C-alpha cells in the first residue's frame, strides 16, 4: 500500500523578487516530492504566495493600482521561476483566492464563538518596518528611541488569540514527539523560547492602518494579521472545511519545510492554532539554514542576493539544482559562490558522471554495434562485478535513507561514489584494450555492467536533475529513467539490444578562470582503439576561440524570396550605419513581410560568400529543433550594430 506524503514550502511574499533562498526551499521540496514518488508514495506538494499586508498595499499605492492587480502581476515572478526550475508542485495557493479567504474567515468565526479569540486594548510599541508589536525590552535593546524611527507608540483596540493557554500542552507535545521539530537544535531553540511566559497573539489590524487583508467576520473594522492568514494556507489548499475535497487524505502534513527565519511562527503559533481548531499537528517541521553570500546572509539591503535566473541562464537548470542539494547539509548554513559551483560541477558532473557516460556510450558504439550487449547469466556473481553491483545497491539504499532522514546530500554522495566506482571498474578492466584484443565476452560484460550503473544512477539522480537524466537515459536506449526504486534493485534489468547513442558532452567542463588562453588538452579524433575514449572536455572551445566570432545586432529593413530557391530569403539589414545583405535559409519558417523591423543577431565577420549567385555578407543566428526554426532576436530598445558579449 502506498503512503501519502504531503510536503509544503513557506508561501513567499508576493511583493519580493525571488532569490536563491526562495529557489532553494522550493527545489528542496521538489526533490523530496520526486523521491517520494520514486518510493511509491502518493504525493501532494504545495507552494504558493503570501499576498496580504502593508508592503503589498504600499507598493500598489505607489503604482496607483489595486493591491490585487499588483499581486496578480508579481505572482508571475514565482510561477515562472518554478516552471523554469521544473518544480512539480501539485497546487499553488494564493492567499487572495476565495478558497483560502473563506477558510480563514470560518476559522476566525469559530474560534471567536468559542472564546478562543477576544478583544482587548493594546498600549505599547510597534515596529512599522516588520509590522509587529515589540516589547519594552526589545525597544531598550535597540538603543535610544531617536535612533529607531521605525518604532512608534500605539494605543489601539485589537483581537487576540488565546495562545498562552496552550503553552504547557505545547511544551509537553514537543517533548513527547522528538521528530516534530527538526533538526534537534531547532527543537531546543523552540523549547528555549517556550521557557518564557507565552503571551496571547494579536491577530488583527485596524483597517485605518492596514486594509489589505482578510476582514474579520465578526468585526468589519479589522482585518486579520498576516500570520493568522498565511499559516492557514497549509490546510485551506487541501480543502479544509470543504467536505468534497480529500482533506483527510492529506492532513496532517508530512513535512512543513521552512527556513530558520520562520521557526517560531511555525513551531509555536501554528501548533497552538491547530490545537484550538482541534486538528492534529503536522508530522514534522523542518527548518533549513541560510544560503550565505560568502560569509554574509543574503539580503536585498546588503545587495548580495544571487538571482537564480542568472545562474540558470549561465549554467542550466539541472546543474544549479544539483549544486543546491549537494552543497547544503540540511539544517546548517551554506555559502554560495560561483567558484564553489564551478568546482563541484567540474568534479562531480563533468569529470565523474559525464566522463562515465561518455566512455560507456563511445565504447558500446565502437565495439558493440551501438546496442546494449547481452548480459551473461553469471554477471555480478563475484569479484569486481559483484563489488560494483554492491556499490550501486549501496547508493540506492543511501538515497532512500537520505530522503527519509532529510539528508539528501548524503544520498547524492553515495550515488557519486557508485559513479566513481564504475569509472574505476573501467580503468581496471580496460575495455578499450579488450576491444582491440578481440576479447569480446569480457568486453561485453564489462560494458553491460557500466550501462547498468548508468541505468541506476539516472533514476537516482532524476529527482535532482530531471532534464539531464532523461537525456542520459535516452543515450543508453531507455525511454525514461526507472520510476520505481524497487526496479533499481533488479540486477541486469537493462534490456539487451537497446540502441545506444553518442552525443555532445552532457556536462561540458566549465573553465574556472575565463581569461586563460590555455587550450584544454585536446585529443585526436582518430585515436587508436587502445586509448581511453574521449573525455567530456574534448570538443570544447576556449574563450579566445569564442571571442573570434563577431556577433552584432542588426535591424532588418526588408526581405524577399529568391526565385527558384524555396528555402532562401534575401535580407537587407542595417548593422549600425552599415548596410548588409544576407542570404538565409529561413523561407520555410518566415514570411518576408514579417521580418522587417526585427532586431536579429548577425555573425558579422564571416567571410562573404555567394549563395545561388547572390552575395551574402554574414549569417543570422537561429534556434532550431526538429521541424521548427526561430531567429534569435534581441528584445527591447537597442540600436543596431551592438556587440553581443
Ligand atoms: N510569507 C512568509 C512565510 C509564510 S509561510 C506560512 C515568508 N515569506 S518569505 O518570502 O520571506 O520567504 C521566507 C522563506 O524563504 C524562508 O523561510 C526560506 O524558506 C526562504 N529563504 C529566504 N532567504 C533565504 C536564504 N538566504 N537562504 C535559504 N532560504 C531562505 O517568510
Give Cβ neighbours of residue 238 (< 8 Å, ≥ 6 apart).
Answer: 6, 44, 46, 91, 245, 246, 247, 249, 250, 251
Per-residue pLDDT reduced to its tens digit, 534-580: 333 344 555 666 677 888 898 888 888 887 777 788 998 888 878 89
Cα(125) to centroid of ligand 1, in Å? 25
Banded pLDDT at 78 (limits 50, 70, 90): very high
Per-residue pLDDT reduced to its tens digit, 210-229: 899 999 999 999 999 889 99
Per-residue model confidence (pLDDT) at position 272: 98
DSSP 8-state code for residue 387? H
Closest Cα to atom 30, ligand 1: which residue? Answer: 21
pLDDT > 90 in the chain, percent: 65
Per-residue pLDDT reduced to its tens digit, 191-207: 999 999 999 999 999 99
Cα(612) to centroid of ligand 1, in Å? 60
Per the prediction, the chain carries an average pLDDT of: 89
Closest Cα to atom 10, ligand 1: which residue? Answer: 12
Cis omega before residue 252 (within 30°)?
yes
- In this predicted structure, the answer to whether residue 245 has a pLDDT above a threshold of 80 is no
Cβ < 6 Å from ligand 1: which residues? 10-13, 16, 21-22, 24-25, 50, 230-231, 233, 258-259, 261-262, 290-291, 298
- Per this entry, what is the length of the chain? 645
Cα(15) to centroid of ligand 1, in Å? 13
Banded pLDDT at 305 (limits 50, 70, 90): confident
Per-residue model confidence (pLDDT) at position 299: 65
Per-residue model confidence (pLDDT) at position 628: 77
Report the atom number in ligand 1 closest to the C-alpha of 9: 19
User: How many angstroms separate the CA atoms of 495 and 506, rounded?
Assistant: 23
- In this predicted structure, the answer to whether residue 274 has a pLDDT above a threshold of 50 is yes
Average pLDDT over residues 380-395: 96
Cα(48) to centroid of ligand 1, in Å? 12
Angle at the Cα of 189 from the Cα atoms of 186 and 192, rounded to 5 degrees = 155
Cα(271) to centroid of ligand 1, in Å? 19
412 CA to centre of own chain: 16
Per-residue pLDDT reduced to its tens digit, 494-541: 999 999 999 999 999 998 734 223 333 222 222 223 333 333 334 455
Q: 190 vs 337, which has greater pLDDT?
A: 190
| 3-class secondary structure per residue, 489-545 | CCCCCCCCCCECCCCCCCCCCCCCCCCCCCCCCCCCCCCCCCCCCCCCCCCCCCHHH
Cα(265) to centroid of ligand 1, in Å? 12
DSSP labels for 227-245?
HHHHTTHHHHTTTTT-TTS
Closest Cα to atom 22, ligand 1: which residue? Answer: 21
User: How many angstroms separate the CA atoms of 34 and 40, rounded?
Assistant: 10
- In this predicted structure, the answer to whether residue 401 has a pLDDT above a threshold of 50 is yes
Per-residue pLDDT reduced to its tens digit, 631-642: 998 877 777 888
Amino acid at each position: 500500500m502506498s503512503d501519502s506524503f504531503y510536503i509544503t514550502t513557506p508561501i513567499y511574499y508576493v511583493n519580493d523578487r525571488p532569490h536563491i533562498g526562495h529557489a532553494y526551499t522550493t527545489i528542496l521540496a521538489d526533490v523530496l516530492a520526486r523521491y517520494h514518488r520514486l518510493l511509491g508514495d502518493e504525493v501532494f506538494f504545495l507552494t504558493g504566495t503570501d499576498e496580504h499586508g502593508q508592503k503589498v498595499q504600499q507598493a500598489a499605492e505607489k503604482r496607483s493600482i489595486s493591491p490585487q492587480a499588483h499581486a496578480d502581476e508579481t505572482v508571475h515572478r514565482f510561477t515562472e521561476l518554478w516552471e523554469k526550475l521544473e518544480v512539480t508542485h501539485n497546487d499553488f495557493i494564493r492567499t487572495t483566492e476565495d478558497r483560502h479567504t473563506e477558510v480563514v474567515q470560518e476559522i476566525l468565526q469559530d474560534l471567536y464563538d468559542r472564546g478562543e479569540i477576544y478583544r482587548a486594548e493594546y498600549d505599547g510599541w510597534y515596529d512599522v518596518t516588520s509590522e509587529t508589536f515589540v516589547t519594552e525590552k526589545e525597544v531598550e535593546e535597540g538603543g535610544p528611541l531617536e535612533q529607531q524611527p521605525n518604532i512608534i507608540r500605539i494605543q489601539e483596540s485589537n483581537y487576540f488569540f488565546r495562545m498562552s493557554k496552550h503553552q504547557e500542552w505545547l511544551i509537553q507535545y514537543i517533548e513527547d514527539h522528538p521528530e516534530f521539530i527538526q533538526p534537534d537544535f531547532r527543537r531546543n531553540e523552540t523549547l528555549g523560547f517556550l521557557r518564557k511566559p507565552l503571551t496571547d497573539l494579536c491577530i488583527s489590524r485596524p483597517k485605518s492602518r492596514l486594509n489589505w487583508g482578510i476582514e474579520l467576520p465578526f468585526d468589519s473594522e479589522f482585518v486579520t494579521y498576516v500570520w493568522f492568514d498565511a499559516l492557514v494556507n497549509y490546510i485551506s489548499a487541501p480543502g479544509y472545511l470543504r467536505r468534497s475535497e480529500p482533506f483527510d487524505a492529506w492532513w496532517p502534513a508530512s513535512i512543513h519545510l521552512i527556513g530558520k527565519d520562520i521557526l517560531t511562527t511555525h513551531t509555536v503559533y501554528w501548533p497552538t492554532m491547530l490545537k484550538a481548531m482541534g486538528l492534529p499537528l503536522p508530522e514534522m517541521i523542518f527548518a533549513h539554514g541560510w544560503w550565505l553570500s560568502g560569509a554574509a546572509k543574503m539580503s536585498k539591503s546588503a545587495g548580495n542576493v544571487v538571482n537564480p535566473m542568472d545562474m540558470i541562464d549561465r549554467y542550466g537548470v539541472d546543474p544549479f539544482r544539483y549544486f543546491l542539494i549537494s552543497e547544503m547539509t540540511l539544517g546548517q548554513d551554506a555559502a554560495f559562490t560561483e567558484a564553489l559551483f564551478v568546482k563541484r560541477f567540474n568534479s562531480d558532473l563533468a569529470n565523474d558522471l559525464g566522463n562515465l557516460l561518455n566512455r560507456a556510450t563511445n565504447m558500446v558504439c565502437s565495439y558493440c554495434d551501438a546496442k546494449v550487449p547481452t548480459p551473461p547469466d553469471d554477471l555480478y556473481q563475484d569479484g569486481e562485478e559483484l563489488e560494483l553491483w554492491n556499490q550501486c545497491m549501496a547508493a540506492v539504499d543511501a538515497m532512500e535513507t537520505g530522503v527519509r532522514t532529510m539528508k539528501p546530500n548524503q544520498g547524492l554522495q553515495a550515488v557519486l561514489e557508485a559513479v566513481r566506482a564504475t569509472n574505476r571498474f573501467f580503468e581496471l578492466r580496460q575495455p578499450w584494450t579488450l576491444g582491440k584484443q578481440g576479447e569480446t565476452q569480457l568486453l561485453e560484460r564489462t560494458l553491460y555492467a557500466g550501462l547498468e550503473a548508468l541505468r541506476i544512477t539516472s533514476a537516482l539522480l532524476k529527482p535532482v536533475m530531471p532534464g539531464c537524466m532523461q537525456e542520459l537515459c535516452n543515450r543508453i536506449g531507455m525511454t525514461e529513467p526507472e520510476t520505481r526504486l524497487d526496479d533499481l534493485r533488479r540486477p541486469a534489468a537493462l534490456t539487451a539490444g537497446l540502441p545506444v547513442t553518442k552525443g555532445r558532452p552532457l556536462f561540458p567542463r566549465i573553465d574556472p578562470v575565463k581569461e586563460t588562453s590555455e587550450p584544454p588538452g585536446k585529443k585526436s579524433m582518430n585515436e587508436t582503439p587502445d586509448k581511453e575514449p574521449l573525455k567530456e572536455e574534448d570538443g570544447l572551445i576556449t574563450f579566445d576561440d569564442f571571442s573570434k566570432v563577431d556577433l552584432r545586432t542588426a535591424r532588418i529593413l526588408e526581405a524577399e524570396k529568391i526565385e527558384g530557391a524555396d528555402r532562401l530569403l534575401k535580407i537587407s539589414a542595417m548593422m549600425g550605419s552599415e548596410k548588409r545583405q544576407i542570404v538565409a535559409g529561413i523561407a520555410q519558417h518566415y514570411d518576408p513581410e514579417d521580418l522587417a523591423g526585427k532586431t536579429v543577431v548577425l555573425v558579422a565577420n564571416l567571410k562573404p560568400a555567394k549563395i545561388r549567385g547572390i552575395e551574402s555578407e554574414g549569417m543570422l543566428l537561429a534556434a532550431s529543433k526538429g521541424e521548427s526554426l526561430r531567429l534569435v532576436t534581441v528584445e527591447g530598445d537597442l540600436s543596431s550594430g551592438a556587440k553581443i558579449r
